[in-house]
Amino acid sequence: MEIVVTEAAADRRRKKPESAEGLGFGNHFSDHMFLMEYAGGKGWHDPRIVPYGPIPILPAAMVLHYAQEIFEGLKAYYAQDGNVCLFRPDRNAERFNRSAARMCMPQIPVADQLAAFRELLRVDREWIPRARGASLYIRPAMIATEPTLGVRPASEYLFFVITGPVGAYYARGFEPVRILVEEKYVRAAKGGLGEAKAGANYAASLLAAKTAKAAGFDQVLWLDAERRQFVEEVGTMNILFVLRGELVTPPLSGSILPGVTRDSVLVLAREWGIPVAERPVPIEEIVAAAADGTLSEAFGAGTAAVISPVGAFSYRGREVRVNGGRVGELSRKLHREITGIQYGEIEDRHRWVCRVE
């Protein structure tokens, strides 16, 4: 794929944050973006990098009416040897294509997605923070742009990639979070869009998340749509538990996003000889185990926070602390191992790290 690059003029460059402190997440954007269009009969065409700016679409664009939209999220960072690296970007590209298939959208060859990431990083390399723990967030997305008011798959699409420097996802960093178990609303049902990274999933979660934050919680823990009985996932990450020495997480049964970090955690845990079970997890089991001490840890796994320890769950008005509200041993070890692999401090035995020339 030949990518045409048009760099922003010097006087139109965006102001970069002076340091990694106070970056937050999703507040700053780099100078350039990648664009590529799709049209029926013509396929994907016109791959290019242009200055970051508005994307023109017509008011009748189908994404605005029928929510045909998907996205991904991954990070670029400087390893300790000075190389710019990505962590398992092929898995993100493969998941993007699975989301596209579920949403009746055209897929993009994995190699072309990776080429777009690499070229955009080359152009905006100076935006990548050098501070440990900070990174350049990469957001690929696809939207339906055909200007037609008809409930059917669109025939025209735009694929774009934007980037921006980010710090820790949670302001408190690697500190245990408080999670509210949600029983009124649901995120997704089996057979729906839960396993696709579609914007519609996140739109459905906003009201519950807003209510939880107003009550002082960091995240919402979703339960299954049918019975409100089994744990599914947290708003921005998969959830895992250490129950009686076993690492337990809900199975990928159609309503849960198959996280790249989740998969990495399971691979490492099995290597370390930790029993792993992917099975339905009743919320009552978690609450009871937290109360009697057989739940020794709970943590989230996702690109944004990597590993996020859970200090307490609130369920039906009762708050149950996990591990005394402290970071657990496995949570700390996994965070250290995954970030160590990412930054080149620990041997990359699985070849998960992709270096960008």
Read off the pLDDT of residues 312-351 as tens digits, 9 standing for 90 and up: 999 999 998 999 999 999 999 999 999 999 998 999 999 9
- Sign for the pseudo-dihedral over CA of 83, 355, 238, 108: positive
Domain co-membership, 187 together with 335:
yes
Instruction: Note the pLDDT tens digit of each residue in 131-164.
Output: 888 899 999 999 999 999 999 999 999 999 999 9
In-domain check, residue 285: yes
Report, as an integer, the average pLDDT of 237-251: 97
Average pLDDT, rounded, for the chain = 94
Residues 148 and 184 in one domain: no
Q: Residue 170: its pLDDT value, please?
A: 66
In a domain, 350, yes or no: no
Domain count, the chain: 2
Kindly state whether residue 32 falls inside one of the protein's structural domains.
yes
Kindly report, residue by residue over 37-80, the tens digit of the pLDDT. Answer: 999 888 999 999 999 999 999 999 999 999 999 999 999 999 98
- Both 187 and 251 in one domain: the answer is yes
- Measured over all CA atoms, what is the biggest interatomic distance in the chain, rounded to whole angstroms? 62
Contact assessment for residue 76 and residue 136, using Cβ atoms and an 8 Å cutoff:
yes
Which residues fall within 8 angstroms of residue 309, CB to CB, at 6 or more apart? 174, 175, 176, 177, 297, 298, 299, 327, 328, 331, 332
Q: Are residues 160 and 194 located together in one domain of the fold?
A: no
- 181 and 162 share a domain? no
Is residue 357 domain-resident?
no
Provide the CATH number for the domain around residue 122: 3.30.470.10
The reply to whether 102 falls in a domain is: yes
214 and 112 inside one domain: no
Q: Are residues 233 and 334 in the same domain?
A: yes
Query: Is residue 347, in this structure, part of any structural domain at all?
Result: no
The CATH number assigned to the domain holding 199 equals 3.20.10.10
Question: 172 in a domain, yes or no?
Answer: no
Shared-domain flag, residues 11 and 98: yes
* 19 band by pLDDT with thresholds 50, 70 and 90: confident
Which residues form the domain of 102?
Answer: 4-166
123 & 213 share domain: no
- Please check whether residue 117 lies inside any domain of the structure: yes
The reported pTM is 0.95
pLDDT at 36 over 80: yes
Based on the fold, state whether residues 182 and 135 are members of the same structural domain: no
Of 217, 269, 210, 281, the C-alpha closest to 243 is 281
- Give the sign of the dihedral formed by CA 206, CA 210, CA 212, CA 216: positive
User: Do 182 and 159 share a structural domain?
Assistant: no
Q: For the segment 250-267, what is each residue's pLDDT rounded down to a tens digit?
A: 999 999 999 999 999 999
Q: pLDDT grade, residue 197 (50/70/90)?
A: very high
Whether 161 and 41 map to the same domain: the answer is: yes
